[in-house]
C-alpha cells in the first residue's frame, strides 16, 4: 500500500470518528429514543460506512465500521444487528448492491436502519433446505407485476416483518440455479399468511409462510430476471459473515455467560471444568480477534466464502459453551421456568435463562447454513477441493425428481 493510500485511510478514519462523536453528542443514546439515535446514525453515514452517501453510508472502507461502532456502542448505543438482524446483516447489503432504483433503495434502507421496519428472508422450503436452488415457489410475470405461489419455512421473525427477501422460480425449464429471480416482498400484501413454529424453548421465532397469488411489482425485483442465484449469494455471504462476526468486545457473547456462572458457583468448580472453560475462553478469544482482523482489513466489497469460517466456528462454539454451562449447573440445568408462549403471543427474550440459551443454541448449526454445507463451501471454494457429484446440474428443474 502506498503512503498516499495510507494517508487517505487515516483521513477517512478521522472523519468517521468525528461523525460518530458528533452523533453521540447530539443524540445521546442513553437519553433519546432508539429509533432517533439509529436514524441519526443513518443520516451521518454510520449505519454501513462502506455504503454510498445518502444510503446510510460514508463511502469509505468497510473496515472503518468497527471504528464507528466502538464509539457509538461505548456511549450506550444499541448493536444494530440485534435490533434488526436480517435487515442489517442480509437485506441492507443485498438492496444496496442489487436495487435498480436508488430512490427505492433509500425508501427501504432508512426504516430498516432505525428498526421501524423488520425484515425476514424467504429462502428455505419444506423440500429445499440445504439444497436451496431446488426451491419450488413460483413467480409468474403478469404485466408489470409478478404473481407468487408457494410455501417457505424456518423464516425467522416473519411474524414481525414488514418486508422480506424472496427467492422464487421464474423459469422451470432452466437448470435449478439459472431459473431463479429475486424480489423484495411486502409482508402485508394480500395472500401472505404467517404461521408460527413452536421450538423446544417454548417460543416461536421461526415461522412457515404461505404465499397465495401474492402480487409483487416488477420495481421490487432485485437484479435481472433469472439472475436470482447471484443475488442470493450476496445475501448468503453477508448472512454468514454477520452471524459469525460476533462482538469486538473481549469476553463478550456466550463465553461471558460461562464465566459468569463460574464466578457464581465456586463450590461446583472442578479441575476438569476449569480446563474446559480455559479452552473455551481461548477459542472465543481467537474467534474474536480473527473477526476483528477481518473487519479492519475489509474493503467495500461483499464478504467472500471465507465468511463461512466465522459462522461455522461461532455456531459450534456457542453449543460447546452452553453444554459447559449445563454441566457446571448439574441437576439445576434441568429446571426450566415455562414452555408457554410469551404474553405477546410469539416473542420472548432470547437472552433468557441459560437453560433457554442452551436449547436455543441447538439451532445454531442449522440456521444460516448447516455446518455440513459450510464445510463443503470451505472445501470447494476456499481450499479448492473437488466438489460433490451433482447429477442434476444441467437438467431443467422441472425434470429433476422431487419428493
How many Cα neighbours within 13 Å face the side chain of 394? 0
205 in catalytic set: no
Set 43, 208, 239, 306: catalytic member: 239
Q: How many CA atoms lie within 13 A of 131 on its CB side?
A: 14
User: From CA 211, how far away is CA 186, in angstroms rounded?
Assistant: 11
Task: Give the residue carrying C-alpha cell 463460574.
Answer: 262
Name 103's bridge partners.
none
Q: Cβ distance 46 to 13 under 8 Å?
A: no
C-alpha cell at position 135: 426451491
Q: How far apart are CA 36 and CA 235, in angstroms?
A: 27
What would the grid cell of residue 382 be? 476456499
- Give CA–CA dist 376/166, Å, rounded: 24
CB 168 within 8 A of CB 181: yes
Q: Are 166 and 385 in contact (CB under 8 A)?
A: no
Rounded Cα gap, residues 134 and 400, in angstroms: 9
CA distances 79 to 29, 366, 401, Å, are 11, 24, 44
For every residue of 74-118, which 3-state class applies, written as one string?
A: HCCCCCHHHHCHHHHHHHHHHHHHHCCCHHHHHHHHHHHHHCCCC
Cell matching residue 39: 436514524
Which residues are designated catalytic?
239
Amino acid at each position: 500500500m502506498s503512503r498516499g493510500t495510507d494517508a487517505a485511510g487515516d483521513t477517512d478514519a478521522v472523519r468517521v470518528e468525528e461523525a460518530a462523536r458528533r452523533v453521540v453528542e447530539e443524540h445521546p443514546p442513553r437519553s433519546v429514543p432508539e429509533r432517533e439515535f439509529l436514524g441519526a446514525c443513518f443520516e451521518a453515514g454510520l449505519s454501513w460506512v462502506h455504503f454510498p452517501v445518502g444510503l446510510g453510508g460514508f463511502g469509505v472502507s468497510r473496515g472503518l465500521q468497527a471504528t464507528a461502532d466502538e464509539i457509538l456502542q461505548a456511549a450506550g448505543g444499541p448493536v444494530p444487528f440485534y435490533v434488526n438482524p436480517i435487515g442489517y446483516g442480509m437485506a441492507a447489503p443485498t438492496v444496496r448492491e442489487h436495487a435498480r432504483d436508488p430512490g427505492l433503495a433509500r425508501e427501504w434502507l432508512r426504516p430498516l436502519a432505525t428498526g421501524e421496519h423488520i425484515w425476514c428472508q424467504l429462502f428455505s422450503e419444506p423440500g429445499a433446505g440445504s439444497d436451496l436452488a431446488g426451491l419450488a415457489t413460483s413467480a409468474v410475470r403478469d404485466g408489470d407485476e409478478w404473481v407468487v405461489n408457494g410455501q417457505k419455512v424456518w423464516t425467522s421473525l416473519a411474524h414481525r416483518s414488514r418486508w422480506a427477501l424472496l427467492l422464487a422460480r421464474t423459469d422451470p425449464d432452466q437448470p435449478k440455479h439459472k431459473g431463479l429471480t429475486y424480489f423484495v416482498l411486502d409482508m402485508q400484501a394480500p395472500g401472505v399468511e404467517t404461521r408460527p413454529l413452536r421450538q423446544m424453548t417454548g417460543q416461536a421465532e421461526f415461522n412457515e409462510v404461505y404465499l397465495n397469488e401474492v402480487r409483487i411489482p416488477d420495481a421490487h425485483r432485485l437484479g435481472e430476471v433469472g439472475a436470482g442465484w447471484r443475488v442470493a449469494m450476496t445475501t448468503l455471504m453477508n448472512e454468514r459473515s454477520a452471524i459469525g462476526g460476533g462482538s469486538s468486545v473481549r469476553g463478550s457473547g456466550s463465553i461471558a455467560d460461562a464465566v459468569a456462572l463460574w464466578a457464581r458457583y465456586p463450590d461446583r468448580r472442578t479441575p476438569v471444568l476449569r480446563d474446559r472453560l480455559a479452552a473455551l475462553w481461548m477459542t472465543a478469544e481467537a474467534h474474536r480477534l480473527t473477526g476483528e482482523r477481518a473487519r479492519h482489513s475489509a474493503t467495500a466489497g461483499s464478504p467472500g466464502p471465507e465468511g463461512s469460517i466465522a459462522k461455522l466456528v461461532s455456531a459450534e462454539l456457542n453449543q460447546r459453551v452452553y453444554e459447559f454451562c449445563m454441566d457446571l449447573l448439574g441437576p439445576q440445568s434441568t429446571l426450566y421456568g415455562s414452555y408457554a408462549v410469551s404474553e405477546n403471543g410469539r416473542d420472548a427474550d432470547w437472552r433468557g435463562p441459560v437453560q433457554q440459551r442452551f436449547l436455543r443454541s441447538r439451532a445454531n448449526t442449522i440456521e444460516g447454513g448447516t455446518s455440513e454445507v459450510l464445510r463443503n463451501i470451505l472445501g470447494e471454494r476456499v481450499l479448492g477441493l473437488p466438489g460433490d457429484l451433482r447429477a442434476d446440474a444441467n437438467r431443467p428443474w422441472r425434470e429433476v425428481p422431487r419428493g
